[in-house]
Amino acid sequence: MSINQTDLRKAKILSLVVLLCMSVASGLVYAGKIGLWDSLKDDGLHDRRNKKGLKVLQEPGEALSKLPRGVSGNKVDWVMALQKGFIEPRTHIYEGTEIRVIDLDIIMGETSTMNYVMFPHKAHTEWLDCKNCHPIFFEPKVGVTPVNMGAILEGEFCGRCHGAVSFPLTDCNRCHSIIQGTFTGTFGAQYPPGTQYEDYSLE
Amino acid sequence: MNKNIIKLLLSSIFIIFSLSVIPVSANAEYGDVIINKYSDSAGMRPVIYPHWFHRIRFRCKVCHGELGFEMKAGANDVTMAEIIDGKFCGMCHNGEIAWSTEHCDICHSGKPGLKAGIKGAHQTLGPGIW
């Protein structure tokens, strides 16, 4: 096998041209960005002609680049951002609104061959109130609600938020987080020692 | 001849490397809601509601609890009259907590004709209602 010099030169020139094109292209794409995030005028939603409005609106990159990086969605780990104090969103507007945060993990074992699901109430109630999910999407009792992936993909149960505004359903292992065989306890609510169901009732 | 093969290999590596420079893009608009029940027909741009922006300032429970927003795109019937009355968006967009309703172009900032709904959920690749 032999390679003649002309071919080699062609290959060299080609590679240089490709590199040059890539640099120009990435330069162009990066031009309107801050960090990973497209500028509002390039997001496909905002009207570029609305110069007055676009001037006021905050650019996503300006805010999101300072928060803990996530792997999907808008590339921010929002639970960590809240828990580590990167953001301090308000919990209420009206005086007297009760702020309810509970720490209770639910482990769901009917997951076929997938890892078991661990649902942390803490991460959820720091953002949401009990009544956002109970009883409209989930009965406040373990094992009663027929949660299944089909319905979740259709936007019901967890799919109300996951896949729309919170991390997407392609991040399987963030919910299916307990490897089968490593869990020897009882499925359902993992009450901390000394507490019981009544301590968590919604009344 | 061996030298030539090495050169060719190097060029290929060079090409592959240059391909890897393609920039990765993140979807800030993940979770953005396009609100267009009345806007287009009223001659206004649709509203782009960014969840990411509001989430930095308010927890979900504020709007989806105290303000009464349903947790489903399209399930909320919000009119400008109600907002001006201080309901829904108007609870904050009153010139005190956030800009008031006189600044139309800031909220009504979408491309005309956009279909109402929520953006970004294509990432699930499921059948999805979103």
- So what's the pLDDT on residue B103? 96
**pTM (2 d.p.):** 0.82
Backbone angles phi, psi at A117, to 5 degrees: -95, 135
Reply yes or no: is the peptide bond before residue A135 cis, omega within 30 of 0: yes
Record: contact A170-B8, CB cut-off 8 A: no
- A123 CB contacts (<8 Å, ≥6 apart)? A79, A83
Record: contact B26-A75, CB cut-off 8 A: yes
Q: A50-55 long-range CB contacts below 8 Å, 24 or more apart?
A: A50/B45, A50/B105, A50/B109, A52/B105, A53/B105, A53/B106, A53/B107, A53/B108, A53/B109, A54/B109
- So what's the pLDDT on residue B29? 74
Which residue, chain included where needed, has tokens 């993909």? Answer: A153
Question: Which of residues B108 and B18 earns the better pLDDT score?
Answer: B108
Record: contact A155-B130, CB cut-off 8 A: yes
In a domain, B17, yes or no: no
Choose, out of B25, B70, B93, the residue to mutate when testing the contact with A (most A CBs < 10 Å). B25
CA distance A33 to B25: 9
- Residue B81: give the domain boundaries: 33-120
Q: How many residues does chain A have?
A: 203
In a domain, B78, yes or no: yes
For the stretch B34-50, what's the b/e string if a residue is b when 16 or more beta carbons lie within 10 angstroms of its beta carbon? bbbeebbeeebbbbbbb
How many structural domains are present in chain B? Answer: 1
Backbone angles phi, psi at B17, to 5 degrees: -60, -45
What are the pLDDT tens digits along chain A (203 aa)?
566 778 888 888 888 888 888 777 766 656 678 888 889 999 889 999 999 999 999 999 999 999 999 988 889 999 999 999 999 999 999 999 999 999 999 999 999 999 999 999 999 999 999 999 999 999 999 899 999 999 998 889 999 999 889 998 888 999 999 999 999 999 999 988 887 766 777 75
What amino acid occupies position A52? K
Q: What residue ranges do the domains of chain A occupy?
A: 5-66, 105-200
- So what's the pLDDT on residue B123? 45
Residues of A in contact with B107 (CB under 8 A): 53
Record: contact A163-B29, CB cut-off 8 A: no
CA distance B130 to B124: 10
pLDDT tens digits for B43-95? 999 999 999 999 999 999 999 999 999 999 889 999 999 999 999 999 999 99
Token pair of B100 as six digits: 């008031």
What superfamily would CATH give domain A105-200?
A: Cytochrome C3 (3.90.10.10)
In a domain, B7, yes or no: no
- So what's the pLDDT on residue B128? 44
In a domain, B39, yes or no: yes
Which CATH number is B88's domain given? 3.90.10.10
In a domain, B66, yes or no: yes
In a domain, B106, yes or no: yes
Q: What's the 3-state SS for A98-109?
A: CCCCCCCEEEEC
- What sign does the CA torsion over A21, A22, A23, A29 have? positive
DSSP run (H or E) holding A79? helix A78-83
In a domain, B6, yes or no: no
